[in-house]
Structure 1
């Protein structure tokens, strides 16, 4: 990708794509992923790191905590920000394809396995590949926002963590990859949330269902009941959207489903 003084839209999309997937504390020039992107687009690691922090200055989750990012975001930066929020799925795929055009060599990323897999061919392979790319982007975006820890239990083992959808994948196509529709949860907390056994209030406090409270189960009493009324650990970016939280509480939470039924 040719270098010029001004950033191209494709370069900005790749930068924002990376911004979404890196923890806030790793938006610096010595990060290997920053260096790799800089090499691919013909810019310095310092320039890429600066652009990532420009994007941070547009992020309400960053600025609302008193952090400012780096002033100087351009109109094109803002345009890319808005486009991503309007079409997370399309732009996640587009950016992955842009990256692969610049560097077709395989990496260790989960999505890359699809390009060497012999299990799928033709149209099926394309569909599965795109699905994995989307899942990979959403997982990285959500887990990095929460610092790689379950926001309810604090568990930090990556193999036990799930990028959990607040509004299920099948219920809201437009927000399937929106990181504000995600929570970082351990596998068991994800299962309880998905089944509507726990939910969140508008101020992001955990609500435990009456069904769990009635269980005479030591594990449930030890793991779930102490969560009641506690505020989840807030993410560095992509704070859960109140509209998604409300939908989960009203549509998925088992106590409310019973009340409606």
Structure 2
């Protein structure tokens, strides 16, 4: 059988591969994985080609380097340049890569591509991110950025709340440590994200809960004043003083971001 001609790696394909890299677990880059087969087919590439590109990116990931985990270690100069550009320009390239990924699956801008449930990606109605109702270019770009951030953060934490371990995707939130509205430059920074259940996200966002320098749970007196209460004791008091579960890819929460939360959002009294 004649060998299929190779498909050049365009900038768009590289951005799609970088997007996928953030959304599937480390070690799932094999050419036989359903998601790799699915996406390679949509890109007009072979699964082997996409799998190798993902492994090349893994070899450049400082998170894995710190753990002495290596990919194929065959990253090209182009791979290195694209990796560096993507990390340095997440506010722009995160949403751009998300739109490129979206357009592989559907032309309907009201839908998103979900990588969190099942072995392949699925087109679904998007989660609500604040009730935007217009379909302006700006709104679509913001929504793509939010979708990129949520799926990246949840996957980094193995789709589990880092406090409670809850692993139901629809009950999980990619919580911003420094608020979305006040720190636009940090919106898509993985160091500014935590995977929390919707309950723990509400407590964190309102300052009823935070994390100390050792990433252990701190509860405010404002929350404790409602004790004794069985549900609070089960969902909060039982985790006080315990360290959160760390991500297995991307980056751990930045101490400077957590310090800001402790000093400006956490209700100590």
TM-aligned CA deviation for residue 237 of structure 1: 1.2
C-alpha distance 155-79 of structure 1, shift in aligned 2 (>3 A): same
C-alpha distance 155-120 of structure 1, shift in aligned 2 (>3 A): closer
Match of 1:195 among 194, 206, 214: 206
Match of 1:54 among 53, 56, 72: 56
Q: Equivalent residue for 2:266?
A: 253
More displaced 10-residue stretch of structure 1: 181-190 or 54-63 = 54-63
CA displacement, residues 224-257 of structure 1 (integer Å, 9 cap, x when unaligned): 12222211111111221222222212221111xx
Higher helix share: 1
Q: Equivalent residue for 2:234?
A: 222
Q: Equivalent residue for 2:118?
A: none
Q: Equivalent residue for 1:125?
A: 136
More displaced 10-residue stretch of structure 1: 105-114 or 223-232 = 105-114
Aligned Cα root-mean-square deviation (Å): 2.7
Q: Distance in 1 between matches of 2:21 and 2:47?
A: 14
CA displacement, residues 74-109 of structure 1 (integer Å, 9 cap, x when unaligned): 232222222222222311232234345656555762
CA displacement, residues 105-127 of structure 1 (integer Å, 9 cap, x when unaligned): 5576278758xxxx967xx4323
TM-aligned CA deviation for residue 212 of structure 1: 2.5
Q: Distance in 2 between matches of 1:202 and 1:192?
A: 19
TM-aligned CA deviation for residue 142 of structure 1: 0.7
Q: Equivalent residue for 2:113?
A: 109
Please tell me whether the aligned partners of residues 88 and 174 of structure 1 are also in contact (alpha carbons under 8 angstroms).
no
Q: Distance in 2 between matches of 1:112 and 1:149?
A: 21
More displaced 10-residue stretch of structure 1: 148-157 or 213-222 = 213-222
TM-score normalised to the size of structure 2?
Answer: 0.81
Q: Distance in 1 between matches of 2:86 and 2:260?
A: 22
Unpaired runs of 5+ residues, structure 2, are: 115-122, 127-131
- Helix, strand or coil: the match of 1:57? helix
- Helix, strand or coil: the match of 2:22? helix
Q: Distance in 2 between matches of 1:102 and 1:254?
A: 45
Q: Distance in 1 between matches of 2:50 and 2:243?
A: 35
Q: Equivalent residue for 1:144?
A: 155
Please tell me whether the aligned partners of residues 87 and 174 of structure 1 are also in contact (alpha carbons under 8 angstroms).
no
Please tell me whether the aligned partners of residues 24 and 145 of structure 1 are also in contact (alpha carbons under 8 angstroms).
no
Unpaired runs of 5+ residues, structure 1, are: none
TM-score normalised to the size of structure 1?
Answer: 0.83
TM-aligned CA deviation for residue 38 of structure 1: 1.9
- Helix, strand or coil: the match of 1:26? coil
Please tell me whether the aligned partners of residues 88 and 175 of structure 1 are also in contact (alpha carbons under 8 angstroms).
no
Q: Distance in 2 between matches of 1:103 and 1:126?
A: 19
Q: Equivalent residue for 1:172?
A: 183
Q: Distance in 2 between matches of 1:150 and 1:102?
A: 30
**Equivalenced residues, count:** 248
Q: Equivalent residue for 2:171?
A: 160
Please tell me whether the aligned partners of residues 173 and 198 of structure 2 are also in contact (alpha carbons under 8 angstroms).
yes
C-alpha distance 103-152 of structure 1, shift in aligned 2 (>3 A): closer
